[in-house]
């Protein structure tokens, strides 16, 4: 009889050790190692020795066919997935608790069931009555979605194998599933990996699309072993601030579509509402005429998005000034502040700096550098930026404004929303800026020029006249003067 081999597995990253220790050397977390049976984590059929079979090898040349897709009935969800769900694919959806993952999937499955597809929704966290209450609140109780409250993977696969194969299966959530092939508690790394592997094997064998709902850790990462993210075909992240009504669905990984597209939703009393024009929504509550605000013309995938950047620069009473940013990269803000001080003479070492992207959107592209710099300088010198202007451009370490991609799409979106001016890199004004009809283009070659233009309009807070020297005169921001 084979002797069981015990190992200690980190419940945060999945690293295995042959003895217990307080700290995981792989991820650095403390007290996350749990004792598990290593031999029991592998099914008997896999452990048994058998002779391998031969298989045919194919060449790169040959006919390729687009994967058939199943539309979810929600335009924003189809945009992120690449046009719908592919047969036999497995998607992992993660997000903070209460962000609306179950609401989104309930709406999508109801629309697909009404279209005549067999849809199965299996909940491991809620009872059937709770799922029905949510559907009734959303006005979807008449949708022919098949419900179940089950956590055993073997029972789920056995039930789904009877009759017609479902077109879509939702497992909410993968952390609650367990399988007999593993001698561990539900939610452990080994159970999550084994359960996901069994469900993925069922999807590839039958052609049913499966959506796995995953919990997230305090760092925003999907809980469980990272190997699950490699096993699935797509990883979707549902983001948003609890205090904001906006929700962003973003593809982190997608084998059948792009990873730079986003879907925008608005949380209402009747569920999630699709936002077809996110720029108009993000700018709907804009505070006009306030120093420290600039409109950034960004690109999310193929969609142009206009969003407001808000900055506040205030004198500090601390030895180390505070730098706080929401919705943008912290290191990117530090770089912009360093360039402002090194090349433009803007002294911010004695000021606290706060930067916020309005609406709960998170910006990833460096084209927001110019808008952030304009908002920071505007707040520092108390200068109001033009309310009908948009900003975009990447700032280099030398202070030069570098061009960015898809300039025409950004300008067309600005024109559609009624903006009259655009501040953009010098090299972008020309043949690439073909969408500038109706816009006055202010081409800027260096950050020093932009800072000087904003500082010329500045004044002390509470003083209508411009100051003599401190903080706001144009000479303050010229190189070589000081």
- Global pTM? 0.76
**What per-residue confidence (pLDDT) applies to 471?**
39
pLDDT digits (tens, 9 = 90+) for 220-256: 666 666 778 889 999 999 988 766 788 999 999 999 9
Sorted by sequence, the CB contacts under 8 Å of residue 415 that are 6+ apart come out as 435, 436, 437, 438, 439
Q: Mind listing the pLDDT tens digit for each residue in 165-190?
A: 999 999 998 989 999 988 888 888 88
Q: How far apart are CA 452 and CA 441, in angstroms?
A: 17
Lowest-pLDDT range, 34-43, 74-83, 121-130, 296-305?
34-43
What is the pLDDT at residue 50? 62
C-alpha–C-alpha distance, residues 410 and 9, integer Å: 49
pLDDT digits (tens, 9 = 90+) for 259-306: 888 899 999 988 999 998 888 888 877 878 789 999 999 998 888 999
CB neighbour list of residue 306: distance below 8 Å, 6 or more residues apart: 279, 282, 283, 295, 296, 297, 298, 390, 413, 414, 417, 419
Which has the closest alpha carbon to 104: 206, 248, 202, 200?
248
Contact status, residue 332 vs residue 366, Cβ threshold 8 Å: yes
Q: What is the mean pLDDT of residues 122-151?
A: 94
pLDDT band at residue 128 under the 50/70/90 scheme? very high
**Integer Rg of the chain from CA:** 27
- Higher pLDDT, residue 12 or 472: 12
Q: How far is CA 294 from the centre of its chain?
A: 23
pLDDT tier at 61 (50, 70, 90 boundaries)?
Answer: confident
Cα distances from 417 to residues 83, 278, 295, 436, in angstroms, run 27, 11, 12, 13
Give the mean pLDDT of the chain.
85
Least confident range of 124-138, 249-263, 458-472: 458-472
- Candidate from 263-277, 281-295, 393-407, 409-423 with smallest mean pLDDT: 281-295
Output the furthest CA–CA distance in the chain (Å, rounded): 91
Which of 363, 202, 204, 195 is CA-nearest to residue 213? 195
Residue range 88-98: mean pLDDT, rounded: 91
d(CA 479, CA 444): 17
Cis peptide before 49 (omega within 30 of 0): no
Return the H-helix or E-strand segment holding 298.
strand 293-300
Give the span between the Cα atoms of 405 and 413, in whole angstroms. 14
Contact 297/406 with Cβ under 8 angstroms?
no
The end-to-end CA distance of the chain, in Å, is: 84
φ, ψ at 326 (rounded to 5°): -125, 120
Q: Are 274 and 74 in contact (CB under 8 A)?
A: yes
Name the range with the highest mean pLDDT among 177-186, 313-322, 367-376. 367-376
Helix, strand or coil, per DSSP, at residue 463: coil
Q: Going by C-beta distance under 8 Å and a sequence separation of 6 or more, which residues neighbour residue 124? A: 149, 150, 151, 171, 172, 173, 176, 177
Q: What pLDDT score does 246 carry? A: 84
- Taking phi over 0 as left and psi of -120 to 50 as alpha, with beta for the rest, 246 belongs to beta
């Amino acid at each position: 009889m084979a002797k069981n081999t015990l190992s200690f597995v980190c419940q945060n990253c999945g690293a295995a050790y042959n003895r217990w220790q307080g700290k995981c050397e792989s991820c650095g977390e403390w007290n996350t190692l749990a004792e598990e049976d290593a031999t029991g984590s592998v099914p008997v059929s896999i452990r048994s020795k058998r002779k391998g079979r031969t298989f045919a090898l194919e060449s790169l040349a040959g006919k390729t066919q687009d994967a058939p897709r199943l539309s979810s009935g929600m335009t924003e969800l189809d945009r992120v997935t690449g046009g719908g769900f592919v047969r036999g694919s497995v998607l992992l959806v993660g997000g903070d608790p209460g962000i609306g993952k179950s609401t989104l999937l309930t709406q999508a499955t109801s629309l697909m069931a009404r279209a005549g597809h067999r849809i199965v929704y299996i909940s491991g966290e809620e009872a059937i009555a709770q799922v029905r209450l949510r559907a009734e609140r959303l006005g979807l109780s008449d949708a022919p979605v098949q419900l179940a409250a089950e956590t055993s993977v073997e029972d789920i696969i056995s039930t789904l194998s009877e009759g017609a194969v479902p077109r879509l299966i939702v497992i909410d959530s993968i952390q609650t599933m367990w399988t007999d092939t593993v001698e561990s508690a539900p939610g452990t790394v080994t159970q999550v990996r084994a359960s996901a592997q069994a469900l993925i094997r069922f999807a590839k064998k039958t052609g049913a699309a499966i959506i796995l709902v995953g919990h997230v850790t305090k760092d925003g990462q999907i809980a469980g072993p990272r190997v699950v993210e490699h096993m699935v075909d797509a990883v979707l992240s549902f983001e948003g601030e609890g205090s904001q009504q906006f929700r962003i669905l973003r593809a982190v990984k997608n084998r059948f579509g792009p990873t730079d597209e986003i879907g925008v939703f608005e949380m209402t009393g009747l569920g999630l509402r699709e936002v077809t024009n996110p720029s108009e929504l993000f700018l709907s509550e804009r505070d006009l005429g306030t120093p420290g605000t600039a409109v950034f013309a960004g690109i999310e995938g193929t969609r142009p998005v206009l969003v407001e950047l808000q900055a506040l620069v205030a004198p500090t009473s601390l030895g180390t000034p505070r730098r706080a940013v929401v919705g943008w990269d912290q290191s990117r803000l530090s770089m912009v502040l360093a360039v402002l001080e090194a090349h433009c003479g803007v002294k911010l070492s004695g000021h606290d700096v706060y930067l916020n992207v309005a609406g709960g959107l998170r910006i990833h592209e460096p084209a927001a550098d110019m808008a952030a710099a304009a908002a920071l300088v505007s707040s520092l010198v108390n200068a109001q930026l033009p309310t009908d202007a948009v900003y975009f451009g990447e700032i280099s370490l030398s202070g030069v404004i570098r061009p960015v991609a898809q300039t025409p799409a950004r300008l067309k979106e600005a024109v559609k929303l009624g903006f009259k001016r655009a501040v953009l890199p010098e090299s972008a004004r020309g043949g690439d800026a073909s969408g500038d009809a109706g816009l006055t283009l202010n081409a800027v070659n260096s950050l020093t020029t932009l800072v000087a233009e904003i500082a010329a309009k500045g004044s002390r807070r509470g003083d209508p006249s411009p100051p003599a020297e401190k903080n706001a005169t144009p000479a303050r921001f010229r190189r070589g003067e000081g």
